[in-house]
Amino acid sequence: MRHTSAHARHEPVQYENHIGGRNVPPAGGKYLDTEDPTFGRVWARVPASTAEDVDRAVEAAKKAFPGWAALKPSQRGRLLYKLADIIEANAERLAEIEVRDNGKLYAEMHAQMCYIAEWYRYYGGMADKIEGVVIPTDKSNIFNFTRNEPLGVIGMITPWNSPLLLLTWKLAPALAAGNVAVIKPSEFTSVSTLEFLPLFTQAGFPPGVVNAVTGFGKDAGASLVDHPDVVKIAFTGSDLSGQKIYEGAARHIKHVTLELGGKSPNIVFDDANMEAAVNGVISGIFAASGQTCIAGSRLLLQRSIHDAFMEKLLAVAASARIGNPMERETNVGPVATRPQCAKVLDYIDVARQEGATCVLGGGRYAGEGATSDLFVSPTIFTGVNNAMRIAREEVFGPVLAVIPFEDEEQAYAIANDTAFGLGAGLWTSDMRRAIEGSARIEAGTVWVNTYRALSYTSPFGGYKRSGIGREGGMEAIKEYLQTKSVWICTDPAVDNPFLMR
């Protein structure tokens, strides 16, 4: 369903759930409005799904699972390869939808749409390389080997900041491993997922292998977590939401993968390439308006270069062009949702109340380029200490907290003094410091002299409250498999049946 004509008329487009390869209206007949944050107006309506809709989707997936799991792995791989080609052909359209849904830059969304095709190719190539092992046990006359088998119906709950990219991190390995899926996207950004799923039918996937229901987390999301036929939940979102999902999954002993929040330190030492580090800090916090789980929201800056670095940083940050994310010249777009915008502004007020000094931005942006009231100026606070809320809690917006340090020991102590551990940056020209620092920092990803580099070939995930499990690389497909150990006795004679063999 294309959106361009509706955009011209300013009339919302109505979407339906995608279940069993078909568009299915919500059982309760209710819909949610989806707002375009760039212009602050409703542009689409998506189903407000309930437990009944989740039941339908899970039933469709459960019905499709035996046939999908029984396909030759190479057949699943070929379908994933075909899907990748179709995604590339639709990249421009999907990118435009994501921009309308969440206000991120079109240039980044288009790059993401092209890049997610590589995820499906990577795991398509891995589908027929899932192997067991023969184990040389200490038992005589027994042959022991392992099989890696799919789990079944996977519930996937995705966030609003990069809907299709973060869905792909889950869906590509899950499908390659032989699982089926029911997706619950964020209620704020469901349209791209509903537009995406028909591409699976176009690629030749059997009906029911991939399904989507939209709606609120407390309704559709909770029903998916609680459903007895869903064997695993893969979730990306805040740590508090992840905790609730973890608790719900535990009641049914479900598998989980949780990619949660972060308060990532971006550490700049006095021997760093200052220009590269400034650009890395800007990328870490102001790209995507700071709405990334890996945002380098804490700048740990060695005191000896503090003033010189801040001068350069402020000059670059102040030059950022704010405006329509569809325009190539724009650097910073709107905050994706009204609740998130209010949260970011609240944290800015909190930082001031705690005594931090605002040296850039500090509130809603209403200048040239602002097309709605959902723009927040890139904001930098100095005079921050690591005990402040602005340094401890995830803001998820374009707000940077600058914390000075004296030496390596203090830098690593501050970096690790957090409940989170998703990502970290380290800027230095000292190879010893790069190697030692990457070992001492408690985070699932450490970037040295770069930031926000990700690939389908490399695992991604968090320490501490930043999550459980890994997405990306060979490790991700293991998250969607269960190991079976098989014992075959070549000599069934038993001397004493009352003793363990």
Q: What is the 3-state secondary structure (H, E, C) of 311-342?
A: HHHHHHHHCCCECCCCCCCCCECCCCCHHHHH
| Alpha carbons 400 and 451: distance in angstroms, whole number | 15
Exactly one of 59, 98, 195, 259 is catalytic; name it.
259
Q: Please give the Cα distance from 266 to 286 (Å, whole number).
A: 13
* Phi, psi for residue 362 in degrees, rounded to 5: 105, 25
Amino acid in the structure at residue 194: L
Please, is 422 exposed, middle or buried when counting C-beta atoms within 10 Å of its C-beta (0-12, 13-18, 19+)? buried
Q: Which residue is associated with the tokens 């904001």?
A: 379
Q: Within 13 A of 83's CA, how many CA atoms are on the CB side? A: 32
**Local structure of 130: helix, strand or coil:** coil
Q: Cite the beta strand spans of 361-473 per DSSP E.
A: 379-382, 399-405, 423-427, 445-448, 467-468
Annotated catalytic residue, options 35, 98, 293, 341: 293
Give dist(CA 113, CA 142) in Å, integer: 50
Query: Nearest Cα to 193, choosing from 107, 55, 101, 260?
Result: 101
| β-pair type (379-382, 399-405) | parallel
Exposure string (b/e) for 270-309, b if CB count within 10 Å is 16 or more? bebebeebbbbbbbbbbbbbbbbbbbbbbbbbbeebbeeb
Task: Measure the CA–CA gap between 495 and 167, rounded to whole angstroms.
Answer: 55
114 is catalytic: no
Measure the CA angle with vertex 472, ends 106 and 474; round to 5°: 150
Would you call 474 exposed, middle or buried from its count of C-beta atoms within 10 A (0-12, 13-18, 19+)? middle
CA distance 401 to 348: 10
SS3 assignment, position 116? helix
Q: Pick from 60, 184, 164: which is nearest to 120 by CA? A: 164
The residues carrying an active-site annotation are 259, 293
